[in-house]
Each structure stands twice: as C-alpha cells, then as structure tokens.
C-alpha cells in the first residue's frame, strides 16, 4: 500500500519536497491557502519533471506517474490520514505553531509531524501540540530535487522512533541525512552559513575586499562550490537576514549579529537574484 505524505505550503520548498516524494512512490497531498499558490507549485513540479525527462534522468512514463500521485487542496483536513506531514511555510513561529496546533487535532496518534524550518527551534514548534515526541525537523535544501542533504533535528522531546521514521522517509526520497542532536537555533547548517555570510558581509561593508574577491577566496581557498555572498543572493538576503536575527535572538552570540549594510539592502529591496540586485547585479 502506498504511503501518504501531506506537504503544507506549496512554495519552492514545499513543492520540491512533494516532487521528490511523489517520484519515490509516495501519494502526496499538497496544501496551500490559495489555488494560485497551488497552481504555481504544480507548474514548477511539471517543469522540473520535464527537465529531468529531457536529460534522460526520468522516463516520460515515470514523470507522468509521479505527477499522478500528487493532489492539491486548500483544506488542511486533507492531511488527516497522512503517515507523515511536512510543514514548509514561511519562517514565522506563530504561523508554524498555528499549523501544528491544528494538525495535532486532525492526524492520527502515529503520524509524524515534521517541519522544514531552517532556523526555528523544533521544541518551540512542538510545544504547540500534545505530542512533542512525534515532532521532528526535516530541513531540506533548495532546490530540493538537486540538493542531496536533509538535516534531521531532534526537538527536546522527539522520540527515537520519530527520528528513525523521519530518516527512513528522507533517505527513501534520495537524501543523505545528518542528525542535529541538540535543538539549537539554526541547527548545524544555518549556523555555519549565517556565521560565514555575516563575516563576509562585514568584510565587504568595511571595504576590506570586493564581493567577487571574498567569494573567490571561499571557492578557491576552501573548495566551496559557491561563495557566501553569492549564496546570500541565491537564497535571498532577506531570508538570511531573518535567519541570522533568529539565531542572534536565541543565542545572543555576537557573531550572528547581522551588519547594518545587510539591513539597509533589505530595506531597499536589494534582496538578491529575485530582485535583480543583491551583493551582485543580475
């Protein structure tokens, strides 16, 4: 019997998680609050499958079958009979807690409730439910079909069984997992990239080196595929600013305090590739 996955949020991350899961044989229900958001999400999934077919990584039949396993809805009740629910909405604790509070009253006792958050402590999200032991972090990376990592995050009360189920799911959709054993804000990956981006932005702000030279140093000196400032532009300067502020608020560690130049860039709308201007012009 095919297992059922519910994905809450049809943005770039949610649709990517739906895409790889359907391809791996899961029946997926993708939920968002508007039909327009759902159409955008499924259009993106179709385009991505088409690209894989044109490159010979999927057959047309496999792509069609995977698409056939995805249904869309604006009704959260559709998650009621899911084996796993992955939340992939905007990085705001109040929004996430509201979703988890509602899901807690909808799904079965054995259902795993997972969050794709990149910086909010899982324990805080789980506290909105009566089953914190069934809540876990499954932090996928963008673009989900291409990026091989999934960061599994153990909340303060996450059970071994829940963590094992999350690992089985993530590995089953083709990801390699790392486990975050202590639920610190930003986990492992967001803390590392935030510290690097903040320091790179400070070096850039104070005129120590150009954005290009800072990124070249990281690529050629450390073997990084992409420099930290180009990464900020790709991810969104606004999203990274939000993440570093979350980590700084939680940890009060000065190395996560974003420089003023990053705040001004976001104020001005220079948020990276999606706006045509960030640390680089596009």
pLDDT (0 to 100) of residue 21: 98
pLDDT (0 to 100) of residue 119: 82
Q: Domain 4-180 classified CATH 3.40.50.720?
A: yes
**pLDDT single digits (tens) 150-197:** 999 999 999 999 999 999 999 999 999 999 999 998 999 999 999 999
Q: Return the domain boundaries, the chain.
A: 4-180, 190-273
C-alpha–C-alpha distance, residues 163 and 110, integer Å: 13
**pLDDT single digits (tens) 72-93:** 999 999 999 999 999 999 888 9
Q: Is 15 known to sit in a ligand binding site?
A: no
Q: Give which of 83, 78, 185, 80 is closest to 139, Cα–Cα.
A: 185
Confidence of residue 2 (pLDDT cuts 50, 70, 90): low
**pLDDT single digits (tens) 11-43:** 999 999 999 999 999 999 999 999 999 999 999
Q: By mean pLDDT, which of 82-86, 117-121, 206-210, 253-257 is the weakest? A: 117-121
User: Who's near 45: CB < 8 A, 6+ residues apart?
Assistant: 15, 18, 19, 22, 67, 70
C-alpha–C-alpha distance, residues 11 and 73, integer Å: 14
Contact 173, 138 (CB under 8 A): no
Question: What's the mean pLDDT in 231-257?
Answer: 93
**pLDDT single digits (tens) 106-139:** 999 999 999 999 888 999 999 999 999 999 999 9
Q: Is 118 known to sit in a ligand binding site?
A: yes
Place of tokens 């532009």: 233
pLDDT (0 to 100) of residue 53: 97
Q: Is 55 known to sit in a ligand binding site?
A: yes
**pLDDT single digits (tens) 259-282:** 999 999 999 999 999 999 999 999
Token code pair at residue 138: 């499954």
C-alpha–C-alpha distance, residues 243 and 190, integer Å: 7
Q: Domain 190-273 classified CATH 1.10.1040.10?
A: yes
């Amino acid at each position: 019997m095919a297992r059922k996955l519910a994905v809450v949020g049809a943005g770039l991350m949610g649709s990517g998680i739906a895409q790889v899961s359907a391809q791996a044989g899961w029946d997926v229900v993708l939920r968002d609050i508007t039909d327009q958001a759902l159409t955008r999400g499924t259009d993106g999934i179709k385009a991505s499958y088409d690209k894989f077919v044109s490159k010979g990584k999927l057959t047309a039949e496999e792509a069609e079958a995977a698409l056939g396993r995805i249904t869309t809805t604006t009704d959260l009740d559709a998650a009621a009979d899911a084996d796993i629910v992955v939340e992939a909405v905007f990085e705001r604790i109040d929004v996430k807690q509201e979703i988890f509070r509602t899901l807690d009253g909808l799904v079965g006792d054995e259902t795993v409730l997972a969050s794709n958050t990149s910086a909010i402590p899982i324990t805080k999200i789980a506290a909105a439910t009566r089953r914190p032991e069934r809540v876990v972090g499954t932090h996928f990376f963008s673009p989900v079909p291409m990026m091989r990592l999934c960061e599994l995050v153990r909340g303060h009360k996450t059970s071994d069984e829940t963590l094992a189920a999350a690992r089985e799911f993530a590995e089953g959709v083709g990801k390699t997992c790392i486990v975050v054993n202590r639920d610190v804000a930003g986990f492992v990956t967001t803390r590392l990239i935030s510290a690097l981006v903040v320091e790179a932005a400070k070096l850039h702000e104070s005129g120590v080196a150009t954005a290009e030279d800072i990124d070249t140093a990281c690529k050629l000196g450390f073997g990084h595929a992409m420099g930290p400032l180009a990464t900020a532009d790709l991810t969104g300067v606004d999203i990274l600013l939000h993440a570093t502020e979350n980590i700084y608020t939680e940890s009060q560690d000065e190395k996560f305090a974003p420089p003023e130049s990053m705040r001004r860039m976001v104020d001005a709308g220079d948020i990276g590739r999606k706006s045509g201007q960030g640390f680089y012009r596009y």
